[in-house]
């Protein structure tokens, strides 16, 4: 009997949710995604300190020696290049979360990251620029996609975010399963059946919404707390999974059933909550304000990524002083 991971890969592209290059080489996923938290963990790991040196050298060569923002951007791209050497597919590289409410700054940062990747001779088609699915982040993705820069809109917690991102032409969206579950459990929800898991339900809703409307945006479930959540989303376009859970799936040779299939999704008719055209700014903002879970988790996710970005900058500064 083949493993559950092998069964999953019949229908779903597996993405590694880690910045550990050795684990990526061992797990051999198709794609990988990075974020400030994963980059910070890699920067603190002695095995990957050479990437920090490489990033500083790249910044120096481009005339930005000692510029902290250039060094951190260079580190993200150097790490992305290293990840790509172990996988056949794509890597996601995230824009500074502190720019989540500034469309122009997000676009400028994305262009800088892509310029750094060009310096590293990484093909543009192997990179996804990652930004938070705020209104401003979605508008930045619209501009970037028109320029040929493919985008991954992350921290998706609502159907409205997903629809607005897809209508803007985003290549991929990342709805978060585990954080949605956490939010509800903290407020007293008891989950006795995986089909009652609000995180699983959210991704299923988004998958059917986008496929039913004929939108091409890739749905990539993220932030899993257990293997059961992954199994309940078998057939989703992509799933980004931690090494521990990938290992668990690889060691389990039980039967796995497909739960999501775009070929079986019926065409969807627009309803009052989700109109035929993309949400305008006022309606988008109201939908977030009217959804305490999505509003809380989007804000919290941005704060967490911003904190890890600051920690990465502090680490680079401390090493420069020590040197």
Provide the pLDDT for residue 1.
Answer: 76
In this predicted structure, the answer to whether residue 272 has a pLDDT above a threshold of 70 is: no
In this prediction the pTM is 0.94
Give 318 or 79, the one with higher predicted confidence.
Answer: 79
Buried residues in 235-261 as b, exposed as e (16+ CB within 10 A):
bbbbbbbbbebbbbbeebeeebeebbe
Q: Which of 4, 130, 186, 211 is catalytic?
A: 130
pLDDT in tens, 219-255: 999 999 999 999 999 999 999 999 999 999 999 999 9
Query: What are residue 86's phi and psi, to 5 degrees?
Result: -110, -5
Nearest C-alpha neighbor of 22 from the set 32, 13, 12, 14: 32
% of residues, the chain, pLDDT over 70: 95
pLDDT in tens, 54-102: 999 999 999 998 899 999 999 999 999 999 999 999 999 999 999 999 9
CATH pick for 4-317 out of 3.20.20.140, 1.20.1560.10, 3.40.50.620, 3.20.20.70: 3.20.20.70
Are 297 and 303 spatial neighbours (Cβ–Cβ below 8 Å)? Answer: no
Q: What is the pLDDT of residues 112-131, one digit of tens each?
A: 999 999 999 999 999 999 99
What is the structure's pLDDT at 267? 86
For residues 149 and 169, the answer to whether their CB atoms sit within 8 Å is no
Q: Which of 1-5, 130-134, 254-258 has the lowest mean pLDDT?
A: 1-5
Identify the pLDDT of residue 276. 56
What pLDDT sits at residue 321? 47
Q: What are phi and psi of 199, to 5 degrees?
A: -70, -45
Average pLDDT of the segment spanning 264-282: 72
268 pLDDT higher than 80? no
Q: Which residue has the tokens 């978060």?
A: 176
pLDDT at 320 over 80: no
109 is annotated as an active-site residue: no
């Amino acid at each position: 009997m083949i493993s559950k991971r092998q069964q999953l890969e019949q229908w779903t592209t597996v993405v590694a949710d880690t910045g550990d290059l050795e684990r990526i080489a061992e797990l051999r996923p198709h794609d990988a995604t990075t974020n400030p938290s994963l980059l910070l963990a890699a920067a603190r790991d002695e095995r990957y300190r050479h990437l920090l040196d490489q990033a500083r050298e790249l910044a120096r060569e481009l005339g930005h020696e000692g510029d902290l923002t250039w060094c951190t951007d260079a580190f993200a791209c150097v790490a992305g290049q290293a990840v790509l050497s172990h996988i056949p597919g794509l890597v996601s590289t995230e824009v500074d979360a502190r720019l989540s409410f500034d469309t122009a700054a997000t676009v400028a940062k994305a262009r800088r990251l892509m310029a750094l990747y060009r310096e590293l001779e990484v093909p543009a088609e192997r990179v996804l620029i990652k930004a938070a699915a705020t209104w401003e982040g979605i508008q930045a993705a619209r501009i970037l996609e028109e320029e040929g820069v493919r985008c991954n809109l992350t921290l998706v917690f609502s159907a409205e975010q997903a629809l607005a991102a897809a209508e803007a032409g985003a290549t991929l969206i990342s709805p978060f399963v585990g954080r949605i579950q956490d939010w509800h459990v903290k407020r007293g929800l008891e989950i006795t059946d995986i089909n009652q898991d609000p995180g699983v339900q959210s991704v299923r809703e988004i998958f059917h919404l986008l496929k039913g409307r004929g939108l091409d945006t890739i749905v990539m479930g993220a932030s899993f707390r257990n293997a059961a959540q992954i199994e309940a989303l078998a057939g989703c376009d992509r799933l980004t999974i931690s090494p521990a859970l990938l290992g668990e799936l690889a060691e389990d040779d039980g039967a796995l059933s497909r739960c999501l299939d775009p070929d079986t999704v019926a065409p969807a008719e627009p309803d009052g909550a989700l109109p035929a055209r993309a949400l305008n700014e006022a309606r988008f903002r109201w939908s977030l304000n009217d959804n305490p879970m999505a509003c809380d988790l989007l804000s919290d996710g941005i704060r967490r990524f911003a904190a890890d970005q600051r920690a990465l900058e502090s680490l680079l500064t401390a090493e420069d002083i020590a040197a």
